[in-house]
Amino acid sequence: MKAFIVEKYKKNGELRMVDTAEPVMQADDVLVEIKATGVNLLDSKVRDGEFKLLLPYKPPFILGHDVAGTVLAVGANVRHFRVGDEVYARPRDHRVGTFAERIAIHAGDVALKPKNLGWTDAASIPLVGLTAWQALVELGKLRKGQKVFIQAGSGGVGTFAIQLAKHLGAFVATTTSSKNAELVRSLGADVIIDYRAQDFETVLSDYDFVLHSQDQKTLEKSLRVLKRGGHLVSISGPPDPAFAKSLGLNFVLKLVFGLLSMRVRRTAKKHGLRYDFLFMRADGRQLANITALVENGVIKPVVDKVFPFEKTGEALAYVETGRAKGKVVIEVR
Residue 36's contacts (CB-CB under 8 Å, 6 or more residues apart) are 67, 68, 69, 119, 120, 122, 123, 329, 330, 331, 332
71-76 mean pLDDT: 98
Strand, helix or coil for residue 27: coil
What residues contact residue 12 under an 8 Å CB cut-off, 6+ apart?
Answer: 48, 320
The rounded distance, in Å, linking the Cα atoms of 273 and 227 is 8
Provide CATH code, domain 2-124+301-331: 3.90.180.10
Tens of pLDDT along 266-297?
999 999 999 999 999 999 999 999 999 999 99
Res 59: pLDDT: 95
Distance between first and last Cα of the chain? 12
| pLDDT over threshold 90, residue 208 | yes
What is residue 321's predicted lDDT score, i.e. its pLDDT?
Answer: 94
pLDDT band at 247 (very low <50, low <70, confident <90, very high): confident
Rg (CA), the chain: 19
Per residue in 6-26, pLDDT tens? 999 999 999 999 999 999 999
Amino acid 253: pLDDT: 84
Q: Is the dihedral of CA 89, 169, 167, 156 positive or negative?
A: negative
Distance CA 118, CA 292 (A): 15
pLDDT beyond 90 at 200: yes
- The domain segmentation of the chain, as residue ranges, is 2-124+301-331, 128-277
Q: What is the mean pLDDT of residues 88-108?
A: 98
Distance CA 140, CA 209 (A): 7
Q: Which fold has domain 128-277?
A: Rossmann fold (3.40.50)
Query: Where would I find the H helices in the chain?
Result: 41-48, 119-123, 126-133, 156-167, 181-187, 200-203, 216-223, 241-247, 251-260, 262-270, 284-295, 312-320
Backbone angles phi, psi at 186, to 5 degrees: -65, -25
The angle subtended at Cα 285 by Cα 274 and Cα 71, nearest 5°, is 140
- Model confidence pLDDT, tens digit, residues 137-168: 999 999 999 999 999 999 999 999 999 999 99
Q: Output the pTM of the full model.
A: 0.97
Distance CA 315, CA 327 (A): 10
pLDDT score of 265: 96
Residue 304's pLDDT is what?
98
- Residue 237 Ramachandran class (φ > 0 left, ψ -120 to 50 alpha, else beta): left
Eight-state DSSP code of residue 135: I
